[in-house]
C-alpha cells in the first residue's frame, strides 16, 4: 500500500511510450497498453485486499512553500480510494483489451492507446489525491483525456464539435469547483481533505460559507457528471469510439463528479441546503434524462441518457445522506454500464449503424453479445438478483429514509422509465425480424467478447457485496472508522423493495407489449408534441443556442468590433503615421545632390529666420 503511487504510473508510462514510439509499433502498441493497464489493475487489487486489513495509508511531502502556507502533494489510500482504484483500473484494462478488437485496423491505433493511457493515468491520479488541489489538477487532466478521446475522429465535424462542447461544458462546472476550492482554502487554510473536514467539524467555517462552497464544488461535479443543466455534452460525447464511451462516459470520468461529492461528503452533510440541492438536482436529472431516453433512436444515445439518469440517481443518493448507496451504485453502474456500452459497441461493430430502427433480430446472429446485453439490461433495469437491483434499492431507501418523499417518487418513476427504455432498446435491437440486410453480420472476436463476459459476471454478482439479505459488507467497510459518512446500512421499509421490483417489471412488461409482442401500437406516442419535445431533448440545446450562445456571440461580435476598429485602429494609426513620415523622409534621400543642397538651404533659411525673430532683429 506504501507503493500505491505506482498505480497511475503504469498508464502514464504507456502514454509516454506510445507517444514517442507508437508510430513504429502500430498494432503492437495495443499489447503495451493492455499489459500496463493489467499491471495497474493487479496492483490496485493488491492494494484493495491490503486495505481490508490495514488502516488508511497516507503519504505526503511538501510540494510548495509560499510564506507560511505549505502545499503538499502525495497520495492516500482510504476505503473509497481503494475501491475506485479497482473499478477504474479494471474497466480501463477491459476497455484496453476490447479496443484491440474494436479498433483493429485503425491507422491511429497507437494514438488511441496513448490517449487511453493518459486518461487512465489522470483518473487513477484523481482517485489517489489526498487534497483538493491535486484533485483539481487531475480533474483537468481527465477533462483533457476525455477531450482527446471524444475528438479522436477529429476529421468528422460532429466529433470535433462534440469534443469542444464536452470541454467547454465541463469547464463551466470547473469554474464552480475552482471558486469553491479557493473559498475552502481561504476558510480552512488548507487543501487537505482531512483538515477541511476537521475545520468543518470544529465549526471554524460559518454555515453559509459551507453551503456556498459545497454548492460551488457540486457545480464542478455537475459539469463532470452530466447533471442538469450541464448534461448536454454527455450525449454528444458519443461521437468518440464506443469503447471510450464505455470507459469515460459510463464508468470513470462521469463518475468523477460523484466521486468528488463522495470524497467531500462530510462537507456536504454539514449543510442541509447543500445536501438538498444535490438531491434535487440528482432526482431531477434522473427523471429528466430517463424521459429523453424513452424516445431516442441512436443506440449509444439511449445509453448516454441512461448514464445521465443513473448519475442523477447517485447524486440523489448522496444528497439523501446515503453515502454507501451512492458509492455502491457508482460501482455497480460502472460494471453494467461499461458492459452495455461494450455490447453496444459489439453490435455497432457487427451492423455498422447506430440507428436502432435499422436493427432487429440480432439475437440469432449475435449469440454472445445478445445474452450479455440482456444481462446488462436486466441489471440496469433493477430486476431482482442483479446488481442494479440492490444498489437502486439502497438509493430508494436512502431517499425515503431522509424524508425526501417527492424525490423518492420521482426516482421510482425514473426507475420505471429506465426499465422501459432499456428493454425498448433491447427488443428493438435483438428481437423480432431484421429490418435491414443482415447477411454479413458476424459475432465479434473473442478479444471483444471476453471483457464483456467479465463485466457481465460482475454486473450480476457485484450487487451481493451489499445486500439487506446476506449482509452489507461494502457499506460496513466503507463507513468503518468514519462516522461522518453515516451508517453502513440504512433501514427502510420492506415495501420499497417490492415497489421497485414491481415498477421495473412493469416497465419491462410494457416494453415487451409494445416492441416485441406489438399488441400495443408502437407509435401511440409518436408524432405527438410530447414525443417531439422528448426526441429533441426538451430543446435544451436549442434553448442554449438562442440564449447563452446568442448572447455570447453578441458579446464577441461587439468585442471584435472594438478590436478591429478601436484597438487595431489605434495601432494601425500609429504604425501608419510612422511609416508615412518615413515615406516622406525617404523622398529627400534620393541621392540627388541638388535635393540635398535645397534641403540644406531651406534649413539655413529657417535658422536665419528663427534667430532673427528670437534675436529681436525684426521689429
Partner 1 sequence: MSSVPLSLYLALALILFCIGLYGALTKRNIIIVLISIELMLNAVNINLVAFSKFGVMPSITGQIFALFVMAVAAAEVAIGVAILIALYRNRNTVNIDEVNTLKN
Between 62 and 600, CB nearer to partner 1: 600
For partner 1, give the closer residue by CB, 208 or 589.
Answer: 589
Q: Binding residues for partner 1, how many (CB under 8 A)?
A: 10
Q: Which of 125, 119, 148 is nearest to 137 (CA)?
A: 125
State in angstroms the smallest separation of the CB of 610 from partner 1. Answer: 20
Residues 72-91 that bind partner 1 (CB under 8 A): none
In this complex, which beta carbon is closest to partner 1, that of residue 536 or of residue 598? 598
Q: In this structure, is the dihedral angle defined by the CA atoms of residues 150, 154, 158 and 163, taken in order, positive or negative? A: positive
C-alpha grid cell, residue 591? 541621392
Q: Rounded to whole angstroms, how far apart are CA atoms 396 and 39?
A: 37
Question: Rounded distance, CA 575 to CA 380, Å?
Answer: 67
For partner 1, the closer CB: 528 or 598: 598
Minimum distance of partner 1 from residue 591's CB (angstroms)? 3
Minimum CB distance to partner 1, residue 580 (Å): 20
Nearer to partner 1, 483 or 591 (CB): 591
Strand-pairing partners, residue 355, are 298
Instruction: Scan residues 21-80 and list those touching partner 1 (CB under 8 A).
Output: none
- Sign of the dihedral through C-alpha 529, 534, 536, 540: positive
For the bound state, the minimum distance from the C-beta of residue 592 to partner 1, rounded and expressed in Å, comes to 5
- DSSP SS3 for 73: strand
| Residue 445 per-residue DSSP state | P
Decide if 432 contacts 517 (C-beta within 8 A). no
The pattern of x and - marking residues 184 through 223 that bind partner 1 according to CB under 8 A reads ----------------------------------------
Give the three-state DSSP class for 268: helix
User: Could you give the 3-state DSSP secondary structure of residue 296?
Assistant: coil
Provide the minimum distance between the beta carbon of 581 and partner 1 in the complex, in angstroms, as a whole number.
Answer: 19
- Region label for 431, one of left (φ > 0), alpha (ψ between -120 and 50) or beta (otherwise): beta
Measured from the CB of residue 615, what is the shortest distance to partner 1 in angstroms?
Answer: 18
CB of 606 to partner 1, least distance (A): 15
Give the CA angle between residues 304, 45, 324 to the nearest 5°: 55
Site for partner 1 in 392-431 (CB under 8 A): none
Supply the DSSP symbol for 151. Answer: G
Q: Which is nearer to partner 1, 597 or 603 (CB)?
A: 597
CA distance 221 to 299: 26
Among positions 550-589, residues that touch partner 1 (CB under 8 A) are 589
Report the nearest approach of partner 1 to the CB of residue 602 (Å): 10
Measured between alpha carbons, how far is 472 from 465 in angstroms, rounded to an integer?
A: 6
Element (H, E) at 33: helix 29-53
Nearer to partner 1, 69 or 604 (CB): 604
Shortest Cβ 583–partner 1 spacing (Å): 15
Nearer to partner 1, 55 or 597 (CB): 597
- Beta carbon of residue 596, minimum distance to partner 1 (angstroms, whole number): 8
Which CB, 66 or 618, lies closer to partner 1?
618
Output 54 or 592, the one with its CB closest to partner 1: 592
Minimum CB–partner distance for residue 552 and partner 1 (Å): 55
Q: Given the complex with partner 1, which of 203 and 597 has the nearer CB atom?
A: 597
User: How many angstroms separate the Cα of 312 from the Cα of each of 201, 225, 315, 395?
Assistant: 28, 8, 5, 11
Residue 3 touches partner 1, criterion: CB under 8 A: no
Q: How is 196-264 classified by DSSP, letter by letter?
A: HHHHHHTT-S-HHHHHHHHHHHHHHHHHHHT-TTS-THHHHGGGS-HHHHHIIIIISHHHHHHHHHHHT
Q: Which residues contact 465 (CB under 8 A, 6 or more apart)?
A: 328, 473, 474
User: Cβ of residue 64: shortest distance to partner 1, in angstroms?
Assistant: 60
Sequence-separated (6 or more) residues with CB below 8 Å from residue 280:
319, 407
**Nearer of residues 446 and 592 to partner 1, judged by Cβ:** 592
583-602 mask for partner 1 (x: CB under 8 A)? ------xxxxxx-xxx--x-
Extended beta strands in 369-511, E state: 466-467, 471-472
- Backbone φ, ψ for residue 74 (5° rounding): 175, -155
Per CB under 8 A, residues contacting partner 1 are 589-594, 596-598, 601
Amino acid at each position: 500500500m506504501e507503493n500505491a503511487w505506482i498505480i497511475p504510473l503504469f498508464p502514464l508510462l504507456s502514454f509516454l511510450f506510445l507517444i514517442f514510439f507508437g508510430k513504429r509499433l502500430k498494432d503492437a502498441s495495443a499489447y503495451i497498453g493492455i499489459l500496463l493497464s493489467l499491471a495497474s489493475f493487479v496492483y490496485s487489487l493488491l492494494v484493495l485486499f491490503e486495505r481490508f486489513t490495514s488502516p488508511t495509508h497516507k503519504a505526503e511531502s511538501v510540494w510548495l512553500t509560499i510564506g507560511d502556507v505549505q502545499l503538499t502533494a502525495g497520495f492516500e489510500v482510504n476505503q473509497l480510494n481503494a475501491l475506485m482504484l479497482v473499478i477504474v483500473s479494471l474497466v480501463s484494462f477491459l476497455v484496453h483489451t476490447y479496443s484491440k478488437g474494436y479498433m483493429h485496423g485503425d491507422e491511429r491505433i497507437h494514438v488511441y492507446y496513448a490517449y487511453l493511457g493518459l486518461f487512465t493515468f489522470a483518473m487513477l491520479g484523481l482517485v489517489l489525491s489526498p487534497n483538493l488541489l491535486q484533485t483539481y489538477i487531475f480533474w483537468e487532466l481527465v477533462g483533457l483525456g476525455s477531450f482527446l478521446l471524444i475528438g479522436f475522429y477529429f476529421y468528422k465535424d460532429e466529433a470535433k464539435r462534440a469534443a469542444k462542447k464536452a470541454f467547454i461544458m465541463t469547464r463551466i462546472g470547473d469554474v464552480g469547483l475552482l471558486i469553491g476550492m479557493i473559498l475552502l482554502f481561504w476558510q480552512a487554510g488548507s487543501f487537505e481533505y482531512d483538515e477541511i473536514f476537521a475545520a468543518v467539524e470544529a465549526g471554524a467555517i460559518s454555515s453559509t460559507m459551507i453551503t456556498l462552497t459545497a454548492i460551488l464544488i457540486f457545480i464542478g461535479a455537475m459539469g463532470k457528471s452530466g447533471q442538469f443543466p450541464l448534461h448536454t455534452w454527455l450525449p454528444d460525447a458519443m461521437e468518440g469510439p464506443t469503447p471510450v464511451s464505455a470507459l469515460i462516459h459510463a464508468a470513470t470520468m462521469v463518475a468523477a463528479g460523484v466521486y468528488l461529492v463522495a470524497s467531500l461528503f462530510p462537507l456536504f452533510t454539514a449543510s442541509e441546503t447543500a445536501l438538498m440541492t444535490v438531491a434535487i438536482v440528482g432526482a431531477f436529472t434522473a427523471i429528466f434524462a430517463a424521459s429523453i431516453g424513452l424516445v431516442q433512436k441512436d443506440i449509444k444515445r439511449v445509453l448516454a441518457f441512461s448514464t445521465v439518469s443513473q448519475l442523477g440517481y447517485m447524486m440523489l443518493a448522496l444528497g439523501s445522506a446515503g453515502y454507501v448507496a451512492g458509492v455502491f451504485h457508482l460501482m455497480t453502474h460502472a460494471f453494467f454500464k461499461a458492459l452495455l456500452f461494450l455490447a453496444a459497441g459489439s453490435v455497432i461493430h457487427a451492423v455498422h449503424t447506430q440507428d436502432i430502427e435499422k436493427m432487429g433480430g440480432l439475437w440469432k446472429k449475435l449469440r454472445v453479445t445478445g445474452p450479455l446485453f440482456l444481462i446488462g439490461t436486466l441489471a440496469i433495469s433493477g430486476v431482482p438478483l442483479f446488481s442494479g437491483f440492490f444498489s437502486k434499492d439502497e438509493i430508494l431507501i436512502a431517499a425515503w429514509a431522509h424524508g425526501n418523499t417527492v424525490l423518492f417518487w420521482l426516482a421510482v418513476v425514473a426507475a420505471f422509465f429506465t426499465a422501459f427504455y432499456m428493454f425498448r432498446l433491447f427488443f428493438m435491437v435483438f428481437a423480432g425480424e431484421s429490418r435491414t440486410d443482415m447477411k454479413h453480420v458476424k459475432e465479434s472476436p473473442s478479444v471483444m467478447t471476453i471483457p464483456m463476459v467479465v463485466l457481465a459476471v460482475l454486473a450480476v454478482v457485484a450487487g451481493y457485496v451489499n445486500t439487506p439479505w446476506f449482509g452489507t459488507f461494502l457499506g460496513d467497510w466503507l463507513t468503518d472508522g468514519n462516522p461522518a459518512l453515516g451508517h453502513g446500512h440504512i433501514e427502510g421499509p420492506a415495501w420499497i423493495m417490492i415497489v421497485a421490483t414491481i415498477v421495473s417489471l412493469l416497465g419491462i412488461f410494457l416494453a415487451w407489449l409494445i416492441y416485441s409482442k406489438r399488441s400495443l401500437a408502437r407509435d401511440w406516442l409518436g408524432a405527438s408534441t410530447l414525443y417531439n419535445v422528448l426526441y429533441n431533448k426538451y430543446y435544451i440545446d436549442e434553448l442554449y443556442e438562442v440564449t447563452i450562445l446568442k448572447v455570447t456571440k453578441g458579446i464577441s461580435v461587439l468585442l471584435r468590433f472594438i478590436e478591429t476598429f478601436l484597438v487595431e485602429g489605434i495601432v494601425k494609426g500609429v504604425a501608419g503615421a510612422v511609416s508615412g513620415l518615413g515615406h516622406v523622409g525617404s523622398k529627400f534621400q534620393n541621392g540627388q545632390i541638388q535635393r540635398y543642397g535645397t534641403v540644406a538651404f531651406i534649413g539655413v533659411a529657417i535658422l536665419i529666420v528663427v534667430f532673427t525673430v528670437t534675436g529681436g532683429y525684426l521689429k
